[in-house]
Amino acid sequence: MSSEDTFWMRRALRLTNRVKAHPSPAVGVVIVHGGELVSEGWTYHTPKVHAEAMALGLAGERARGATLYTTLEPCSHWMRPDGSERVPCTHHCIQAGVARVVAATLDPNPQVCGDGFAQLQAAGIALTVGVCEEQAKEAHRAFLKHQMTGLPFVTHKAAMTLDGKLAASHSAPLAITSEPARRAVHRLRAKSDAVIVGVGTVLADDPELTVRSVRGSNPTPVIFDSQLRTPQTARLNRPGTLILTCVENTPRWDAEILTLPADASGRVSVPAALALLAERGLLELLLESGGALATAFWAANAVDRALFFVAPKLIGGSHAPTPLDGAGLPAPIELDRLRIRRYGPDLALEGRPGLLRQERAAPQYRARGTA
Ligand code: AOF
Ligand code: ZN
């Protein structure tokens, strides 16, 4: 693996931030010839264009003999699951006369999964796999988790005081974290397909859950509301919001109301909700709820990442809400892959539970005779 390969792959990885493409992965591609950048491409949402196709289209004849860097194995299938026809990126690479493909990681989609690499090699294209692989797995984490498990990737975000409180039990809502930390949360929202809260948060704060003070599109707001207590006047009762409830025969609202099965405690089943959100192509989820719903998510083994902002403030009070209050977890969950960042006076602590199922189950590609 050369430092030149790493340099260009990092550039391709930066293009994965351009759009929200789920349920497709937001792939980044750069085409390089003689050490010079020829063109760039990224997965385009509407109309759907794959990153390789965009970059090759822009390169034209200059792609002949060039190296194509891609953050994900090029697709190789001629038919979609619904039977409609498509032209795979492997075909575009071969037709364009690309000399070498450098891919960061395998596409576990069973329709691709090593076949893309095999097609390129069969056509005499030199292949290198695994450049910046960890970064690519992070960039495509939600797509990869969905391919492996059928489920979305969930980040539980909380903002708390040094003594672990989300708010005071006795006073009006209080801003816990500083402006830099709040901007970080807005950047996170801009990257997420959906933001999840419980009806308790809607009743207490009447939030908007929009992206402010940074560029980016709003995520889909999702309210867990077993008994449909969200007021019609709530700011979130707007087209585009999803309210998940256990109540049947619901009235017409501006928000979309979806009835789901209840769990043993009579609340919206977390696994059923996640399956529904994944079906809608909402794969990168930000859980911004209070402690009771967050506990239900952790207890259902549904959280992939904890991201807790800690402000140097103290509130105290045994009734002040905490990130995981309610009944508590059946057993302690240990987090690893820890990261610590500073946002103004605040700290952000990130950790992930155990080894992700997606990583344990990940198919491995062993390239034959890679260049
Ligand atoms: C690539 N480049 O930019 C993307 C890829 O529904 P379709 O036809 O767009 O196919 C989606 C599948 O293609 C998706 O599940 C994933 O395996 C792959 N995505 N592949 O070569 C891209 N977005
Ligand atoms: Zn493709």
Q: What 3-state class would DSSP assign to 287?
A: strand
pLDDT for residue 358 is more than 50: no
- Whether the link from the prior residue into 23 is cis, omega within 30° of 0, is yes
Work out the average pLDDT over 168-196: 88
pLDDT band at 360 (very low <50, low <70, confident <90, very high): very low
Q: Does residue 74 have its Cβ closer than 6 Å to ligand 1?
A: yes
Q: What is the CATH number of domain 146-358?
A: 3.40.430.10
pLDDT band at 168 (very low <50, low <70, confident <90, very high): confident
pLDDT band at 5 (very low <50, low <70, confident <90, very high): very high
- Expressed in angstroms and rounded, the spacing between residue 91 Cα and the centre of ligand 2 is 9
Instruction: Determine the atom of ligand 1 nearest the C-alpha atom of 86.
Output: 8
Task: Locate the DSSP E strands across 153-300.
Answer: 153-161, 194-198, 220-224, 242-245, 256-259, 284-287
Ligand showing the shortest atom-to-Cα distance for residue 140: 1
Work out the average pLDDT over 193-222: 94
- From 15, 27, 52, 75, give the residue whose CB has the most ligand 1 atoms within 8 Å, as the site to mutate: 75
pLDDT band at 172 (very low <50, low <70, confident <90, very high): low
Residues 6+ apart with CB under 8 A from 354: 333, 334, 336
pLDDT for residue 72 is more than 70: yes
Domain ranges of the chain: 3-139, 146-358
Q: Does residue 167 have its Cβ closer than 6 Å to ligand 1?
A: no
Residues 6+ apart with CB under 8 A from 156: 287, 294, 297, 298, 303, 305, 306, 307, 323
pLDDT for residue 367 is more than 90: no
Instruction: Determine the atom of ligand 1 nearest the C-alpha atom of 29.
Output: 3
pLDDT, tens digit, for every residue of 270-321? 999 999 999 999 999 999 999 999 999 999 999 999 999 999 999 999 999 9
Work out the mean pLDDT of the chain and round it to a whole number: 93
pLDDT score of 369 = 41
Ligand 2 (ion): residues with CB under 5 Å are 50, 75, 89
Lowest mean pLDDT among 19-28, 48-57, 258-267, 362-371: 362-371
pLDDT for residue 187 is more than 90: yes
User: CA angle, corner 246, sides to 327 and 274, nearest 5?
Assistant: 70
Q: Is the CATH number of domain 3-139 1.10.238.10?
A: no
Alpha-carbon span 237 to 169, nearest angstrom: 27
Instruction: Kindly state the DSSP code that residue 305 receives in the 8-state scheme.
Output: E
Tokens of 7: 């340099």
Alpha-carbon span 209 to 213, nearest angstrom: 13
Is the pLDDT higher at 200 or at 46?
200
Q: Does residue 90 have its Cβ closer than 6 Å to ligand 1?
A: no
pLDDT band at 173 (very low <50, low <70, confident <90, very high): low
pLDDT band at 349 (very low <50, low <70, confident <90, very high): very high
- Expressed in angstroms and rounded, the spacing between residue 89 Cα and the centre of ligand 1 is 9
Alpha-carbon span 109 to 77, nearest angstrom: 10
Q: Does residue 25 have its Cβ closer than 6 Å to ligand 1?
A: yes
pLDDT for residue 84 is more than 60: yes
- Expressed in angstroms and rounded, the spacing between residue 269 Cα and the centre of ligand 2 is 35
Instruction: Determine the atom of ligand 1 nearest the C-alpha atom of 88.
Output: 21
| Structure-token match 């008994």, residue found | 227
* Whether 362 contacts 108, CB under 8 Å: yes
In percent, the amount of the chain with pLDDT more than 90 equals 85
pLDDT band at 209 (very low <50, low <70, confident <90, very high): very high
Instruction: Determine the atom of ligand 1 nearest the C-alpha atom of 49.
Output: 3
pLDDT for residue 365 is more than 80: no
Ligand showing the shortest atom-to-Cα distance for residue 41: 1
pLDDT for residue 93 is more than 60: yes
Alpha-carbon span 170 to 368, nearest angstrom: 65
pLDDT, tens digit, for every residue of 10-52? 999 999 988 899 999 999 999 999 999 999 999 998 888 999 9
* Whether 254 contacts 237, CB under 8 Å: yes
- Catalytically active residues are 52
H or E stretch covering 309: strand 305-311
pLDDT score of 364 = 56
pLDDT score of 368 = 44
Ligand showing the shortest atom-to-Cα distance for residue 78: 1
pLDDT score of 174 = 72
pLDDT, tens digit, for every residue of 109-147? 999 999 999 999 999 999 999 999 999 999 999 999 999
pLDDT band at 341 (very low <50, low <70, confident <90, very high): very high
Q: Does residue 52 have its Cβ closer than 6 Å to ligand 1?
A: yes
pLDDT score of 363 = 54
